[in-house]
């Protein structure tokens, strides 16, 4: 029997188009689940706002930009980037080599491959945007120097450019691989590999490179280390690949050392200068460079961003005067820090990936990190107390000696001029909770410059403290200020009004006004205040006042005496909340009694931290939080006390600028359906979903410490000039391709010691936010540099919480004035990238409160931040997002935070702890999906309307969370352009229409094929 060829054809047609129909329907369904992300990628929108006629659109824009067009905007950002590096680069050594004379800038030899391929930002999360064809293009070192009039040794430039491929490294960011021609930071579990070519390699590439130094004898050597998210350096030999004679990844390689030596040797014959630039946010071990008499100058430039090399050139030429100061202590051996004894991958013996139980870190160093360790131990060593001179922690194995340990102290920085600083007065007012210092600064040198005043305090360390496990640093930064640019001979008197709460200490054993335990105390005794150029000078000033033989200046100290122990002044926070212990379960000893000995200055030797590893989590620890089951939805309370779905005519724009205590806020949230609150909490994604019932808009988020980098200016900029938007732009604006991931790392911003410059940084973010229509930037890193080895240190300002908190607060305030929610992260204790998702971080409550929490406190209490991001890690056994003490007890209650609280980008549904997170004030996760309860329930089966509706406690928390979140939006530029008549309409995007069209066409063709197949079969039957 012959087969009918037409039947086969129509059967094939039907099958083909049926498959295409199924594919298009599947794609249509998938689009619903990823609509938010697709819109972000394509720059489309699925909703629009419609207002009644007659409303003046221009009057609905609350926040105003300082600039009239995008050219002014991006050029102002470039100018700021230059000035941040001018004030944030730190001159560490200068034997008269700097500044360069005009003729010297014409004979510059740039040595080191990082001079040509520098590290300008991070490897991930803070990659510098490569802008081209805009009004503020990105520049590297060579380009910036040439634009500033420098002449660069062409022989060397050709040499390094010919070896470009030798410097290439593949970066793998969660499967996205890119190749870069610069040094990189090691991924977790990998070793550092140096890239500097050897002298032999250089000689083979160019036989006359050394002779070219004769006519280009200003030799600038760049030594670099990279930074990045999800990366880590490991101490000592374990952290290097062993190929280049390194003993530590943050120490010099043999090839780097040989390059510096080659320049020093060349100087002997060409009579030039050797200047070393440190292109690193991580503190490097450069004692040998500092000691090298042939090195004339050292400047730490950090990661300078897209425009910072303009500022570096200005400093080298003398067009700007260095005024930066180190935000970290630079030591000869980073591994000598007591914190390093518990830095690494310490896996639980009963680790369980099903519950993200991986490892632990016990921060047994207590409060003694950074200068609070080195200066306190020095202080005690000089006074012969606490076994401070013992060999533990000594780099050379002998008695501990400060000079052998510290290369450059915290706060250190040189200038091309000199200054005198005189402490005129200090007034302590406990009623006002302030310490006011007046300081007169005089430029005693020959050139104009700025000076930083650093105010430190020394508090009593008493027998009471020793018996109650309260630790005290010898000196701690209380506040700081920077002068204007002072001309030679000019003076300025600065008044610093410091917050006295930052000289109080947390005592977990003290009775408090709530009748429980835990409060801030001021010990009885003498309090010494001093101004100093750095933390070491501060310690010496206090020692000099006490009669010790040091180089200190007792004249720049003042004292205040407290007659009795004070446990009441700071027992109540600024918003009237009584304090108490909130984080006792963060101490491993709570779970495993007498396991940890925390470092104490009462006995440096006897309490020196050991490494806590190979630990087994107990059943109590597993049930207490490690298995992530910390909140159970139950039937409780009067469910009718929480209102959802009420009738009302309020919308979010109606409450612009309205105080959160106004009753209309409850009325507004009452209009929301419970399902809307559940979806909004679960699907925060990369933008928050719109809420139709109250006309709350979709709000665009961005993440990155160096500016808005995820989207170009044009991604969400308004190009509709008829819309009434004063910041609508032309569709052909050349700056629409501009990406703002251009700023220097936050370490550089910290080194400016300038609240004014930090505020300018925030203002730049805010202005850009208005033009780009991107409201939220998770861009203020308020974690601390616990050790030098965290490769993500570049995203954070400092080892010091006061410097961190105040710089962050200044930036947040600056952005807030433009309606931008510039938000801190990661709350809290996210100070390692090793097993960051799930690592159990243990510490005392004193360390927590006086360390990282203090760094987050000022942004909330002083700047009134409207956003905060939690960390990936656990505090104790509980994930940060589920910690009642951390989120509600301290953040929401003690500090009074009223805003968006987002989790970090956790993608594990269980570890997200949705139930517990929502109960504890987290307003949104970072998952994304379709705007439906079905999509939510697929990920969290317990997160349904019927289930949650029975839990009054949880519903009250959700109601309050929605109030906090929408209050933040109402006080941001997200509601610019909206008014009391505005409502949300759904619109079809071009891809919706395309998919529908494909489905219709393939459906019709499938039907046609099926009909023709049947007809052909019938015809065949009739013929037979």
The pLDDT of residue 729 is: 96
pLDDT of residue 1: 46
For the chain, how many structural domains are there in total? Answer: 4
The reported pLDDT for the residue numbered 476 is 98
Residue 3 has pLDDT above 60, yes or no: no
pLDDT in the model for residue 4? 64
Which residues are CB-neighbours of 154 under 8 A, at least 6 positions away?
none
Helix, strand, coil share of the chain (percent; to 5):
35, 20, 45
Rounded CA separation 24/27 (Å): 5
Given the DSSP bridges, would you call strands 297-300 and 273-279 parallel, antiparallel or unpaired?
parallel
Nearest-angstrom CA–CA distance, 757 and 761: 6
- Domain, as residue range, for 1006: 5-47+987-1019
pLDDT digit string, tens, across residues 248-266: 999 999 999 999 999 999 9
Residue 619 lies in a domain: no
pTM value? 0.94
Question: What does the radius of gyration of the chain's CA atoms come to, in whole angstroms?
Answer: 31
- The pLDDT of 479-497, averaged and rounded, is 98
Is 672 part of any domain? Answer: no
**Whether residue 967 is found in the same domain as residue 997:** no
Residues 926 and 997 in one domain: no
Q: Which residues pair with 221 in a beta bridge?
A: 111, 276
CATH code of the domain covering residue 181: 3.40.50.1700
- The CA distances from residue 954 to 7, 878, 917, 948, 985, in Å, are 62, 19, 10, 7, 31
N-term to C-term CA, the chain: 10
For 939-972, how does the pLDDT look when each residue is reduced to its tens digit (9 = 90+)? Answer: 999 999 999 999 999 999 999 999 999 999 999 9
- Residue 603 belongs to a domain: no
Contact in structure between 283 and 751 (CB atoms under 8 Å): no
What is the model's pLDDT at position 33? 63
CB-based contact 469:432 (threshold 8 Å):
no
Mean pLDDT along residues 14-29: 81
Classify residue 76: in a domain, yes or no. no
Burial per residue of 522-537, b for 16 or more beta-carbon CB atoms within 10 angstroms, e otherwise = bbebebbbbbbbbbbb
The verdict on 219 and 269 lying in the same domain is yes
Regarding whether 807 and 707 lie in a shared domain, the answer is yes
Report the pLDDT averaged over residues 164-190.
85
Tens of pLDDT, residues 41-50: 677 777 777 7
pLDDT band at 933 (very low <50, low <70, confident <90, very high): very high
Same domain, 134 and 283: yes
- Say if 824 falls within a structural domain: yes
Residue 976: count of CB within 10 angstroms of its CB: 21
Q: Is 468 found in the same domain as 372?
A: yes
DSSP 212: G
Q: Which pLDDT value is given to residue 882?
A: 96
Contact 288, 378 (CB under 8 A): no
For residue 400, the domain's CATH number is 2.60.40.10
- CATH number, domain containing residue 900: 3.20.20.300
pLDDT digits (tens, 9 = 90+) for 548-593: 999 999 999 999 999 999 999 999 999 999 999 999 999 999 999 9
Name the residue among 322, 340, 242 with its Cα closest to residue 283: 340
Query: What is the model's pLDDT at position 40?
Result: 65
**In terms of domains, do 455 and 406 share one?**
yes
Q: Average pLDDT, stretch 719-747?
A: 95
Whether 868 contacts 899, CB under 8 Å: yes
For 295-316, the pLDDT digits (tens) are 999 999 999 999 999 999 999 9
**Which is it for strands 900-902 and 867-869: parallel, antiparallel or unpaired?**
parallel
* Residue 241 falls inside a structural domain: yes
Query: Same domain for 427 and 449?
Result: yes
Claim to verify: residue 858 and residue 933 sit in the same structural domain:
yes
The answer to whether residue 78 is domain-embedded is no
Alpha-carbon separation of residue 61 from 153, 696, 728, 815 (angstroms): 53, 16, 12, 16
Across the chain, mean pLDDT equals: 94
pLDDT-derived band of residue 83, with 50, 70 and 90 as boundaries? Answer: very high
CB of 884 within 8 A of CB of 631? no
Q: Is residue 509 one of the residues assigned to a domain?
A: yes
The pLDDT of residue 245: 84
In the predicted model, what is the mean pLDDT of residues 520-536? 98
pLDDT at residue 1020 in the model = 59
Q: What percent of the chain has pLDDT over 70?
A: 98
Cα–Cα distance between 195 and 201 in angstroms, integer? 12
**What pLDDT, on the 0 to 100 scale, is given for residue 515?**
94
CA distance 442 to 489: 6
Q: Are residues 968 and 999 in the same domain?
A: no
Regarding whether 523 and 427 lie in a shared domain, the answer is: yes
Q: What is the model's pLDDT at position 36?
A: 66
Last residue of a domain, one of 532, 560, 590: 590
Looking at the chain, the whole-number percentage of residues with pLDDT higher than 90 is: 84
User: According to DSSP H, which parts of 647-745 are helical?
Assistant: 663-670, 674-682, 713-716
Give the span between the Cα atoms of 325 and 167, in whole angstroms.
31
Q: Which residues contact 1 (CB under 8 A, 6 or more apart)?
A: none
- Over residues 266-287, the pLDDT tens digits come to 999 999 999 999 999 999 999 9
* CA pair distance 279, 874, nearest whole angstrom: 33
The answer to which of 185-199, 609-623, 746-760, 786-800 has the lowest mean pLDDT is: 185-199
- Unique residue bearing structure tokens 């374990």: 238
Contact present, 271 and 217 (Cβ < 8 Å):
yes
How far is residue 172's CA from residue 178's CA, in Å, rounded to a whole number?
Answer: 7
The answer on 357 and 248 residing in a single domain is no
């Amino acid at each position: 029997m012959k087969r009918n060829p037409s039947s086969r054809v129509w059967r094939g047609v039907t099958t083909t188009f049926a498959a295409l129909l199924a594919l298009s329907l599947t794609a249509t369904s998938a689009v619903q689940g990823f609509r938010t992300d697709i819109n972000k990628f394509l720059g489309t929108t699925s909703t629009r706002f419609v207002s009644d006629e007659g409303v003046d659109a221009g009057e609905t824009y609350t926040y105003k930009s300082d600039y009239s067009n995008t050219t002014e905007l991006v050029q102002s950002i470039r100018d700021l980037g230059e000035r941040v590096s001018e004030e944030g680069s730190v001159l560490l050594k200068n034997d008269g080599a700097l500044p360069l004379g005009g003729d010297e800038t014409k004979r510059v030899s740039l040595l080191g491959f990082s001079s040509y391929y520098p590290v300008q930002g991070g490897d991930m999360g803070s990659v510098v945007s490569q802008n081209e064809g805009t009004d503020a293009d990105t520049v590297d070192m060579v380009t910036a120097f040439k634009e500033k009039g420098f002449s660069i040794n062409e022989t060397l430039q050709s040499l390094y450019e010919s070896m470009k491929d030798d410097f290439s490294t593949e970066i793998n960011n969660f499967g996205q691989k890119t190749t870069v021609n610069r040094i990189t930071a090691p991924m977790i579990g990998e070793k550092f590999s140096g890239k500097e070519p050897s002298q032999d390699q250089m000689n083979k590439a160019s036989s006359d490179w050394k002779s070219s130094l004769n006519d280009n004898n200003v030799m600038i050597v760049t030594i670099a280390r990279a930074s990045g998210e999800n990366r880590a350096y490991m101490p000592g030999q374990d952290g290097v690949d062993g190929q280049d004679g390194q003993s530590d990844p943050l120490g010099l390689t043999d090839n780097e050392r040989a390059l510096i030596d080659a320049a020093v040797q060349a100087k002997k014959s060409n009579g030039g200068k050797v200047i070393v630039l440190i292109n690193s946010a991580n503190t490097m071990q450069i004692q040998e460079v500092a000691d090298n008499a042939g090195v004339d100058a050292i400047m730490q430039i950090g990661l300078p961003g897209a425009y910072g090399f303009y500022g570096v050139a200005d400093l080298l030429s003398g067009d700007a005067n260095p005024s930066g100061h180190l935000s970290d202590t630079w030591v000869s051996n980073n591994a000598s820090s007591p914190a390093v004894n518990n830095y690494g991958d310490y896996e639980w013996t009963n680790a369980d990936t099903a519950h993200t139980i991986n490892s632990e870190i016990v921060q047994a160093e207590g409060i003694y990190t950074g200068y609070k360790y080195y200066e306190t131990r020095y202080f005690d060593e000089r006074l012969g107390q606490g076994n401070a001179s013992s060999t533990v922690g000594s780099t050379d194995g002998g008695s501990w000696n400060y000079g052998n340990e510290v290369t450059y102290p915290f706060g250190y920085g040189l200038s091309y001029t000199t200054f005198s600083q005189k402490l005129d007065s200090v007034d302590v007012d406990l009623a006002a909770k302030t310490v006011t210092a007046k300081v007169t600064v005089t430029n005693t040198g020959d050139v104009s410059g700025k000076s930083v005043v650093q105010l430190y305090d020394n508090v009593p360390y008493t027998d009471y403290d020793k018996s109650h496990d309260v630790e005290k640093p010898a000196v701690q930064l209380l506040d700081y200020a920077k002068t204007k640019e002072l001309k030679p001979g000019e003076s300025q008197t600065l008044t610093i009004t410091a917050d006295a709460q930052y000289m109080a200490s947390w005592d977990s054993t003290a009775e408090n006004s709530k009748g429980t335990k835990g409060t801030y105390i001021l010990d009885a005794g003498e309090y010494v205040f001093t101004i100093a150029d750095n933390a070491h000078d501060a310690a010496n000033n206090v020692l000099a006042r006490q009669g010790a033989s040091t180089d200190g200046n007792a004249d720049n100290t003042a004292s205040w005496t407290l007659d009795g122990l004070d446990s009441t002044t700071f027992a109540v926070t600024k918003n009237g909340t009584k304090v108490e212990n909130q984080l006792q379960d963060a101490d491993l000893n709570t779970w495993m009694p007498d396991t940890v000995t925390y470092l104490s200055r009462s006995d440096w030797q006897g309490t020196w931290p050991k490494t806590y590893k190979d630990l087994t989590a107990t059943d109590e620890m597993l049930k207490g939080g490690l298995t992530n089951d910390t909140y159970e939805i139950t039937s409780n309370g009067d469910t009718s006390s929480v209102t959802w779905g009420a009738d009302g005519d309020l919308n979010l724009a109606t409450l612009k600028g309205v105080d959160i205590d106004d009753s209309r806020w409850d009325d507004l949230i009452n209009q929301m359906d419970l399902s809307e609150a559940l979806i909004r909490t679960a699907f925060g994604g990369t933008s928050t979903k719109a809420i139709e019932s109250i006309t709350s808009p979709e709000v665009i988020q961005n993440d990155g410490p160096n500016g808005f980098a995820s989207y170009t200016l044009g991604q969400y900029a308004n190009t509709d000039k008829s819309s009434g938007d004063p910041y609508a732009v032309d569709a052909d604006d050349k700056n629409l391709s501009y990406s703002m991931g251009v700023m220097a790392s936050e370490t550089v911003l910290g080194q400016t010691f300038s609240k004014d410059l930090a505020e300018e940084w925030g203002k730049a973010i805010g202005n850009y936010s208005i033009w780009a229509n991107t409201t939220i930037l998770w861009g203020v890193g308020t974690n601390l540099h616990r050790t030098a080895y965290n490769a993500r240190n570049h995203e954070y300002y400092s080892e010091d919480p006061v410097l961190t908190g105040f710089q962050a607060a200044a930036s947040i305030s600056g952005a807030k004035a433009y309606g931008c929610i510039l938000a801190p992260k990661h709350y809290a204790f996210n100070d390692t990238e090793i097993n960051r998702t799930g690592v159990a971080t243990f510490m005392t409550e004193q360390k927590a409160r006086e360390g990282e929490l203090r760094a987050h406190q000022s942004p909330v209490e002083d700047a009134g931040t409207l956003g905060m991001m939690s960390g990936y890690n656990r505090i104790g056994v509980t994930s940060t997002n589920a910690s009642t003490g951390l989120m509600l007890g301290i953040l929401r209650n003690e500090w009074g935070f009223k805003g968006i609280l987002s989790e970090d980008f956790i993608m594990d549904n269980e570890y997200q702890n949705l139930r517990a997170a929502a109960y504890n004030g987290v307003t949104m996760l970072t998952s994304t999906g379709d705007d439906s309860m079905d999509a939510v329930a697929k990920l969290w089966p317990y997160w349904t309307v019927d289930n949650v509706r029975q839990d009054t406690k949880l519903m009250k928390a959700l109601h309050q969370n929605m109030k906090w979140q929408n209050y933040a939006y109402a006080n941001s530029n997200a509601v610019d352009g909206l008014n009391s008549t505005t409502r949300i309409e759904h619109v079809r995007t071009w891809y919706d229409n395309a998919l529908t069209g494909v489905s219709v066409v393939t459906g019709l063709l499938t039907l046609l094929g099926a009909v023709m197949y049947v007809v052909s079969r019938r015809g065949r039957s009739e013929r037979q």
